[in-house]
Amino acid sequence: MLLDLKRIFGAYDAPVTAQLTFDLSGEDFPGYAVPEPVRASVTATLCGHVLELALTVEAKAVFECARCLAECERLFSVERVYSVREADLSDPDAELFFTPEGRLDLRELAYTELVLEIPSVLLCSDTCAGLCPVCGSRKPCSCRHETSGFADERLSVLKQLL
Ligand SMILES: [Zn+2]
Ligand SMILES: [Zn+2]
């Protein structure tokens, strides 16, 4: 959806608010996917010569835990406030990118902010211990091969010494 900032600057009388949903399921995200519609809201308020744009984006990321490979999902929300001056609309170096007609692509902006916000390496939990190198299940596993093997070896060396 394109937000017509030029028109808001030209004929402002009250804050402009919009609730939106975007389908970003076909977009390329690093290390996760966003299969469900993304909810966003934007409010544009003119304060003197500066238009304050408040954006919130809520998206559910679906990913594989980087340690144990479990399928997980997590909700992320992004809140950003941008300050736009009318001169920014035609300035290629402005913080935001506008179309030549002075419009802002909110879907593109939501996508960009999500990519910046969501880490590309995600874990099922901060304490995830990963997979057992012996049995391949999620730790703590029941095989105990790894630790008991070492203990037996050390014990037999000890026995020889005794
Ligand atoms: Zn995990
Ligand atoms: Zn194991």
For residue 135, give the ligand nearest its CA. Answer: 2
pTM summary value: 0.82
Tell how far the Cα of 22 is from the centroid of ligand 1, in angstroms: 29
pLDDT of residue 117: 96
Task: Looking at the CA of 129, name the nearest ligand.
Answer: 1
Q: Which of 124, 16, 23 is nearest to 71 (CA)?
A: 124
**Taking ligand 2, which is a single-atom ion, which protein residues have CB atoms under 5 Å away?**
132, 134-135, 141, 143
CA of 140 to the centre of ligand 2 (A): 7
CA of 43 to the centre of ligand 1 (A): 38
Q: Distance from the CA of 146 to the center of ligand 2, in angstroms?
A: 7
Residue 162 pLDDT: 59
- The full 3-state SS of 105-151, as one line of letters, equals EHHHHHHHHHHHHCCCCCCCCCCCCCECCCCCCECCCCCCHHHHHHH
pLDDT in tens, the chain (162 residues): 899 999 999 999 999 999 999 999 999 999 999 999 999 999 999 999 999 999 999 999 999 999 999 999 999 999 999 999 999 999 989 999 999 999 999 999 999 999 999 999 999 999 999 999 889 898 888 886 645 445 555 555 555 665
Which ligand places an atom closest to the C-alpha of 146? Answer: 2
Q: Could you count the other beta carbons within 10 Å of the beta carbon of residue 66? A: 15
pLDDT attached to residue 143: 86
- Report the length, in residues, of the chain: 162
Residue 61 Cα to ligand 2 midpoint, Å, equals 29
Distance 129 CA to ligand 1 centre (A): 7
Alpha helices for the chain (secondary structure H): 5-10, 106-117, 145-161
What pLDDT is stored for residue 98 in this prediction? Answer: 94
pLDDT of residue 158: 56
